[in-house]
């Protein structure tokens, strides 16, 4: 007896107007704006999430010259990031690990993980422990989600290989993004390492200045935000009626009666 073939839900939904996920499937396959798609699909979100999972598991949909021109998984991943669906983190990391950097699905998965925020750091560090070749991918994620996070900073610092000038340059940039104050001292120390090429040491000295400039910019931004908040409080207090004055109609009526 021949084994019965199971038709994927997304394929059924695309071909049957009466299917409850007909609109959702077409929105995902033809999506141009993730905000617009999210608004359309929000009411049926739970069913759409199941559809997204199936799309991600369909290898045929990743092929550029296949059905949907490889765009459906990319759009599904964009929705995952927009909705911040943490349950998809393992699949997103798997896509990052298995997909060439130049493919759209790679960038979409990287963005989706970054959208999940700082909560992914421990999972990303555990992921990269299993395969050190994933460090460049993990570093890209950590520099985007690890602002002022010591775990993210320490991990990237520990991965720097002074025998790889490109890595030194890239990873020190990441350190500046995460914590410019700490990065200043780490990079300054590297710039004094005589095992490094003279040109690279000079580049690192420039990065020390960049880290200092970033710190100054952050201080100015913080001061500006504080000043704006204080001005807002002052404006609110000015608009409040004085407790010493009572201009209510009831009060005026009582005064006139007397």
pLDDT at 225 over 90: no
pLDDT the model gives residue 157:
98
pLDDT average, residue stretch 98-111:
95
pLDDT the model gives residue 1:
42
pLDDT average, residue stretch 101-120:
96
* Cα distances (angstroms) measured from residue 147 to each of 93, 142, 144, 247: 20, 8, 7, 52
CB 95 within 8 A of CB 77: yes
CB 195 within 8 A of CB 160: no
pLDDT at 254 over 80: no
pLDDT the model gives residue 162:
94
Query: Comparing 90 with 231, which gets the higher pLDDT?
Result: 90
pLDDT at 3 over 70: no
The band of 7, judged by pLDDT with boundaries at 50, 70 and 90, is confident
- Percentage of the chain with pLDDT > 70? 91
Q: What angle do CA 96, 43, 113 make, to 5 degrees?
A: 15
CB 204 within 8 A of CB 197: no
Query: Comparing 101 with 237, which gets the higher pLDDT?
Result: 101
pLDDT the model gives residue 244:
54
Q: Which two tokens stand for residue 171?
A: 């990873």
Query: Comparing 209 with 240, which gets the higher pLDDT?
Result: 209
pLDDT at 97 over 60: yes
The band of 215, judged by pLDDT with boundaries at 50, 70 and 90, is very high
pLDDT the model gives residue 252:
54
Element (DSSP H or E) covering residue 241: none
In this structure, what is the dihedral angle of CA atoms 204, 208, 209, 214, given to the nearest 10 degrees?
Answer: 120
pLDDT at 197 over 70: yes
pLDDT digits (tens, 9 = 90+) for 134-187: 999 999 999 999 999 999 999 999 999 999 999 999 999 999 999 999 999 999
- Rounded to two decimals, the pTM is 0.82
């Amino acid at each position: 007896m021949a084994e019965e073939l199971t038709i994927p839900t997304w394929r059924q939904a695309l071909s049957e107007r009466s299917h409850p996920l007909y609109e959702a499937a077409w929105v995902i396959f033809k999506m141009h704006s993730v905000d617009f798609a999210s608004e359309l699909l929000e009411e049926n979100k739970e069913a759409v999430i199941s559809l997204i999972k199936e799309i991600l598991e369909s290898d045929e949909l990743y092929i550029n010259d296949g059905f949907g021109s490889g765009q459906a998984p990319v759009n599904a991943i964009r929705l995952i990031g927009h909705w911040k669906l943490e349950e998809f983190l393992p699949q997103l990391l798997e896509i990052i690990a298995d997909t060439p950097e130049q493919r759209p699905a790679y960038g979409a998965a990287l963005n989706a993980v970054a959208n999940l925020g700082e909560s992914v750091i421990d999972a990303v560090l555990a992921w990269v422990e299993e395969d050190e070749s994933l460090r460049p991918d993990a570093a890209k994620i950590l520099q985007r989600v690890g602002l002022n996070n010591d775990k993210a900073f320490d991990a990237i610092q520990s991965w720097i290989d002074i025998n790889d000038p490109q890595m030194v340059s890239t990873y020190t940039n990441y350190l500046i993004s995460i914590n410019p104050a700490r990065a200043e001292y780490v990079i300054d120390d590297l710039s004094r390492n005589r095992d490094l090429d003279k040109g690279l040491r000079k580049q690192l000295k420039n990065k020390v200045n960049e880290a200092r400039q970033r710190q100054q910019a952050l201080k100015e931004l913080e001061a500006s935000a504080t000043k704006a908040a204080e001005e807002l409080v002052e404006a609110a207090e000015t608009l409040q009626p004085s407790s010493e004055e009572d201009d209510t109609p009831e009060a005026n009526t009582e005064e006139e009666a007397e």
